[in-house]
Structure 1
Amino acid sequence: MKKRVEKDGRIPSIIPIVDLYNAVSLRFSIPVGGENFDAYVGKPRLTIAVGTESFHTVLNGDAVVESPSKGEVIWRDDLGATCRRWNWRQGTRTRLETVGGRMWFILESLAAMPEEALEGAAKMLVSGLRELAPGCKVYKQEITTAKASVASSDMRVG
């Protein structure tokens, strides 16, 4: 996305919720993704692909199912890959199409990113979510490992 902005000077509007997390991603230079939590089968998890997982996507305007490369970092559920290359390439099966229901957001950062910047990105996302869905409930959880930090929010619009 950053390359597209540098090349074209803008990114196309998709839908308000996607536009919001794309703006957070660009502002803080971190991968941000949003998922339809209710479309998951089982719990989402970050893992290394074996290379046989199904990944629903679009290629040249047509729906296709492909597989991630063996060893690629993916988000997945019990059915297959939901997002590839960490949080860079989101699949169609769990994508957000409207503001509503349970939505799950991932903000990824490396250790070099100051904690305050990650918190600023989360605050920008939550502020935008509350504008798009007044009265929504936002739950935040930070998950860390030795090499990466992932903050996620689960939003429910009732």
Structure 2
Amino acid sequence: MHFRHASDIWRDFPALSAGILHAEGIHRDVSVDAHVAAFEAAAKARLAASSEAEFPEIQAWRRAFSRLGLKPTQYRSASEALLRRFRNDGSLPRIHPVIDLCNAASLAFAIPIAVFDLSKVADHLQVRYASGSEIYTTFSGETEHPEQHEVIFADEEGRAHARRWTNRQSGYSAVGSETTAVLIVAEALHPGGEVGVRRLVEQLETAIRAIWSVDPRSAILNGSFPRFDF
């Protein structure tokens, strides 16, 4: 299996940096409370100084969504949506330990993170422009087809595992109680984004190793090194 961004994504968004983590041996019977608390404390400190809309990480995704023809206040990156909810509610709902950990890391770094159950992905996962024929399954089980030229995460069978790039993942490959292997993808578009992505991946890798006693593999992707094999 492999993960990559299509060449025209790198061409159109040359500032893109992506951090990838592959981990096996994931299960629910762990506590991530200490790591989540540390990430949330960092997010609270930053939100105390300014709103998420002022963060350069969020502004970069808003510009990208506008460029793709999306209203950035209607379709928000996953990190912006999480930060807004966290600022308003003071906490995030608990879903699954690996999701809770990645959501908290996304808050701390203001960088969107996607987590996929690899048992639901066919052969590879590619970030590319949609043809419009791909199949996307919502969390309620409904079927949608992405718009033409929409940025999606797609596999070999033409299944879209995320729509509008970092806006919304699919319920089909969402992490659940039976998940054992995950692919974690963090993406940034702001100036200096690779530094933040690298720090995020390092901290997540350390946390996953400590929590699940597994040895994840990771990589930082850019236009010169666009593919991760696992």
TM range (shorter): 0.7 to 0.9
**How far off is 1:114 after superposition?**
4.2
Judging by fraction of residues, say which structure has more helix: 2
Structure 1 counterpart SS, 2:138? strand
Show the counterpart of 2:148.
70
TM-score (norm 1): 0.81
CA 121–64 in structure 1, closer or farther in 2 if over 3 Å, else same = same
Match of 1:25 among 96, 106, 109: 106
Provide structure 1 residue ranges, at least 5 long, that are not aligned to the other structure.
none
Show the counterpart of 2:212.
133
- Note the alpha carbon deviations across 1:52-87, whole angstroms, 9 max, x for none: 2111112xxx32111222211110102310111223
Show the counterpart of 1:37.
118
Structure 2 counterpart SS, 1:68? coil
Aligned ranges 1:47-58 → 2 under 5 Å: 47-58=128-139
Structure 1 counterpart SS, 2:205? helix
Provide structure 2 residue ranges, at least 5 long, that are not aligned to the other structure.
1-81
Higher relative contact order (CA 8 A, sep 6+): 2
- Identity, in percent, stands at 24
Contact persistence 1:99–1:132 (CA under 8 A): no
Q: Could you list the runs of 4 or more consecutive aligned residues of structure 1 that deviate by over 4 angstroms after TM superposition?
A: 149-154
CA 93–150 in structure 1, closer or farther in 2 if over 3 Å, else same = farther
CA 153–127 in structure 1, closer or farther in 2 if over 3 Å, else same = farther
**How far off is 1:153 after superposition?**
9.7
Show the counterpart of 1:86.
165
Contact persistence 1:32–1:108 (CA under 8 A): yes
CA distance in 1, matches of 2:186, 2:162: 13
TM-score (norm 2): 0.58
CA distance in 1, matches of 2:193, 2:154: 28
